[in-house]
Chains A and B, each alone.
Chain A
């Protein structure tokens, strides 16, 4: 794809503001004088482009609009604080081993951007390519998995089958005893997959976008989308009216709420997705392991907490807290597969509201309203797509035309029937 954002580093001056010297200097003043990473400006009366939603996807979109497309008059409008939505609630699994070509296109585009992100943003997002292993627990899953591995490799994406013995070697805490309820019969791994620090992704994009003049406006809830004769003209917010030539909406679980402000309906249901962490322990697992059959996945954070994720809750809700039975079944699976966790205490559990689409694929699309664009439907697995999603969405907004990567994810697919069915694709949907 054109427009690699790497060339833009020079524009930013690139001086490293966080260094060992800066740390020492600021220690002398008890760390009270660190410069702000981004400004908190008052909204201007008008912008060329307004991005609604200050999650990773929204901030990345603003950054690429400024860095790749040279748009200068941009605002990101966030109802709470940036990264306080799913960006700051997710379990940070990153991979690109999806089944279909369209998905491989967007997720691999994202993975390549992850590989250069810390350098490009001059902000350590702690991207760790520790590998993502997906387990198979039945004969059928094994066969399906082999098919996926081949499909993924045909798209030029790394993917390897692993035997139970190889898995035991990689993940010593796993129980590979064939007698357990869901025995480990094999698995496949994407070694280039891994994790990143979620907050750092929001902060890194925010700082880099702010450097390019993007106004990041927090505590500003969008309450209306202004239109005139089928064309967007601005937004109504809790801090007044702001005019705009174009508006890009990236509000994850709240996409339906914002869509209805413009008289649009989406094929989306918003549901709680939960995760939890244990108390911190010494390093015991240095990869990510997911299991579709039992709806559970595990990794270990740098602080030592074991991070567990569950399947999505069954019902629609915006309450940002999930159902206890979901957590219970996640823990039952965890204890069976990793017996050592049985005596750990759970430190905290939380939920986010995810925007699930009928085909488990995202929407990156124009809408019937001119100048109004939606990027949503990432559901349970959009963190991994953050840079790629922002990159192609910026391109769509700038050119008013989707590029080849974004085009299949148009809202039109629900009319044409060209769905991209990624249900259960290679993992517990993360």
Chain B
């Protein structure tokens, strides 16, 4: 069982939390400019790392806040907990963030290129 420290409520058992999967998947700003394959990268393809992994959790049976976690999926060790919208600060977290193929993906570049031209 995971023991997760909610930044607001403190340490709790994992069944108080709801899992949000891979963190830092940005929604493309202009999806119509992406090919079907590039859109699929955003929608379906996942990092699924064995080792340090950046993921989202929500304390759904507590304060209902979302936050990010760096967890080693091979050992279940929680390495870092950091706020939504921020980037990890631990060495493992930074490496996992930068090493993710998504950073190079067309979908992410599209998202970062700016807000949709309505």
A318–B2 CA distance with the chains assembled, in angstroms: 13
Report A251-303 residues with CB < 8 Å from chain B CB: 254, 256-257, 260, 265-270
Q: Are A257 and B50 in contact (CB under 8 A)?
A: yes
B18 within 8 A of A: yes
User: Do B55 and A416 touch across chains, with their CB atoms under 8 A apart?
Assistant: no
For B43, list chain A residues within 8 Å (CB).
414
What is the total of A-B residue contacts with beta carbons within 8 Å?
69
Query: Which B residues, 19 to 76, have Cβ-Cβ distances below 8 Å to chain A?
Result: 19, 21, 36-37, 39-41, 43-50, 53, 55, 73-76
**How many interface residues does chain B have, given as a range?**
20 to 34
State in angstroms the CA–CA spacing of A17 and B41 once bound together: 51
Contact B46 A318 (CB under 8 A): no
Q: Which of B18, B41, B73, B75 contacts A265 (CB 8 A)?
A: B41
Q: Point out the residues of chain A lying under 8 angstroms from B36, CB to CB.
A: 415-417
Contact A323 B46 (CB under 8 A): no
Q: B53–A323 contact, CB under 8 A?
A: no
Complex Cα–Cα for A400 and B91 (A): 43
Is the Cβ of B46 less than 8 Å from the Cβ of A267? yes
Q: How far is the CB of A356 from chain B (nearest CB, A)?
A: 10
Residue A316 at the chain B interface, CB threshold 8 Å: yes
Q: Does A33 contact B (CB under 8 A)?
A: no
Nearest 4 CB-CB pairs, A to B? A325-B15, A267-B44, A256-B48, A415-B36
Q: Which residues on B are within 8 Å of A, measured CB to CB?
A: 1-2, 13-15, 18-19, 21, 36-37, 39-41, 43-50, 53, 55, 73-76, 101
29 A–B contacts, CB within 8 A, in A order:
A256-B47, A256-B48, A257-B50, A260-B101, A267-B44, A268-B48, A269-B21, A269-B46, A314-B14, A314-B18, A314-B19, A315-B2, A315-B19, A316-B48, A316-B73, A317-B76, A318-B73, A318-B74, A319-B74, A319-B75, A319-B76, A323-B1, A323-B2, A323-B15, A325-B1, A358-B44, A415-B39, A415-B40, A417-B36
